[in-house]
Structure 1
């Protein structure tokens, strides 16, 4: 079985390290966004507001997270499963989310975009890397050092959802944010399923970036009817994923230990059950 050596996995994964990274990144994003001084409900007013309000924190976070993963030596366990799930049909849930994102983009009022605003919007795609490498990457690795896989799924998805509460401190509506937390938990479950089935976090990063960008895009100008249908489809897929997630959790052998690695080729997949 392919393994990462003790030298490359420099720091032993622990639950406390995973939680510290999750909290540290949350406070970093909150601090940078608060320092920018752009209220949450004004991010979409201009390209400058969007970059300072959201984009800048993503750039800073992406750089610091890259350094953190390198210092820990956790790139491989953070990005790859050791034994991916054999239940390929579970990909229906992330596929439906991708279709919903495409519907959002098809229903977007692209005429309302300026070049500068589009450029600032594309920076938001970094959220796919930052939030996934924290929640279903580093946090997941830390939790897998001690907890059963069911708890790993639940806590990574729950903390991903709860991280959206910082939007209230930035001026977002409290009621709407609480609903956002619930939907983020369900959508995060779809990203977890995608990691388990493909064996790689990269696909979850791409889908996360695509979905978030598509949702923001529909808020520019006047969105078409497809955007409303996309929300229904994504919600169905997300909560369907929650209902079925036990299928990809059952039989998972992903406990992370010092020196343990992940085979991105899937060569050490377990026999089909």
Structure 2
């Protein structure tokens, strides 16, 4: 792994500071136009990304990309189909069609991109690296780090309760944010880059009205909801375990060569 400039404990404190400052940014532009809020968010996101980049020293997590074993490749293929189907249907097709009629297209685009940059540099950049360092002595450190960063990502969405979002909606949002967080961590580890998760996250959030009101108003039936996201989580965890085994093998080969 690439060595960072700060210890994992200091990285956690820095992440907490970023969230507090985000709340301050949102409060300072409360009541402003959607465009102004979008501009404020994207400026803050870029500043945070720059600081995270300085702390990590790179957008990579490994010096060299981990070569996957056969088990990880097979589950990666299954994982890619699950994720790809969900992403293409929900984000690329549905959201693009809706955005044609958006009355706040520029503001929505800025808000979606700011979410992708801020949340990915924070959760899959700073926090994933911090958790991986904190769990470095564990057998499945990357699986644990991915799930831990996913839990944080899910809890992060409880902030929406402050804006008046309902508890049931927030619980479902936090749950699927946890699963998506684990999936994004797997992509981050596999590609050894933040670029893809930033783009995917931004496209998922790219929907009309997100700069006006980003609260979730609908509730999916819990059995269906848990079945869908439970399957995605299971596939992601199996893949992450395979990734951990591949990483251990690479490290062992490097030590014996």
**What TM-score results when the alignment is normalised by the length of structure 1?**
0.69
Hey, what does 1:110 align to over in structure 2? Answer: 100
Q: Is the 8 A contact 1:81 1:200 kept in 2?
A: no
Q: Is the 8 A contact 1:79 1:202 kept in 2?
A: no
How far the C-alpha of 1:237 sits from its partner, in A, is 6.5
Indicate which of 106, 109, 113 corresponds to 1:122: 109
- Kindly indicate whether residue 119 of structure 2 is the aligned counterpart of residue 131 of structure 1: yes
Q: Is the 8 A contact 2:61 2:189 kept in 1?
A: no
What are the Cα deviations for residues 74-131 of structure 1, in whole angstroms up to 9, with x where unaligned?
32445887415442302123312321212322541633x34xx211111021211111
- Kindly indicate whether residue 145 of structure 2 is the aligned counterpart of residue 161 of structure 1: no
Q: Is the 8 A contact 1:94 1:191 kept in 2?
A: no
How far the C-alpha of 1:160 sits from its partner, in A, is 0.5
Asked which structure has the greater RCO (Cα within 8 Å, sep 6+), the reply is 1
Residues 77-88 of structure 1 aligned to structure 2 (within 5 Å): 77-78=60-61, 82-83=65-66, 85=68, 86-87=72-73, 88=76
- What is the rounded CA distance, in whole Å, between the counterparts of 1:175 and 1:234 in structure 2? 12
Unaligned runs of 5+ in 2: 136-140, 214-223
Hey, what does 2:131 align to over in structure 1? Answer: 143
How far the C-alpha of 1:150 sits from its partner, in A, is 2.6
What are the Cα deviations for residues 150-192 of structure 1, in whole angstroms up to 9, with x where unaligned?
3201110010111111122233333322221111111222212
Q: Is the 8 A contact 2:34 2:107 kept in 1?
A: yes
- What is the rounded CA distance, in whole Å, between the counterparts of 1:94 and 1:270 in structure 2? 31
- What is the rounded CA distance, in whole Å, between the counterparts of 2:47 and 2:180 in structure 1? 25
Indicate which of 32, 37, 40 corresponds to 2:30: 37
Residues 189-200 of structure 1 aligned to structure 2 (within 5 Å): 189-200=182-193
- Kindly indicate whether residue 160 of structure 2 is the aligned counterpart of residue 170 of structure 1: no
Structure 1 SS opposite 2:22:
helix
Q: Is the 8 A contact 2:128 2:145 kept in 1?
A: yes
- What is the rounded CA distance, in whole Å, between the counterparts of 1:254 and 1:144 in structure 2? 15
- What is the rounded CA distance, in whole Å, between the counterparts of 2:190 and 2:57 in structure 1? 20
- What is the rounded CA distance, in whole Å, between the counterparts of 1:194 and 1:186 in structure 2? 13
Q: Is the 8 A contact 1:91 1:197 kept in 2?
A: no
Q: Is the 8 A contact 1:157 1:188 kept in 2?
A: yes
Unaligned runs of 5+ in 1: 39-47, 221-232, 256-267
Structure 1 SS opposite 2:193:
coil
- What is the rounded CA distance, in whole Å, between the counterparts of 1:94 and 1:77 in structure 2? 22
CA RMSD of aligned residues (A): 3.5
What are the Cα deviations for residues 42-67 of structure 1, in whole angstroms up to 9, with x where unaligned?
xxxxxx53234455234213213313
Hey, what does 1:244 align to over in structure 2? Answer: 235
Q: Is the 8 A contact 2:158 2:174 kept in 1?
A: yes
Residues 42-81 of structure 1 aligned to structure 2 (within 5 Å): 49-53=33-37, 55-70=39-54, 72-78=55-61
1:93–1:81 distance in 2 versus 1, CA, 3 Å = farther
What are the Cα deviations for residues 241-273 of structure 1, in whole angstroms up to 9, with x where unaligned?
311123232252799xxxxxxxxxxxx7999xx
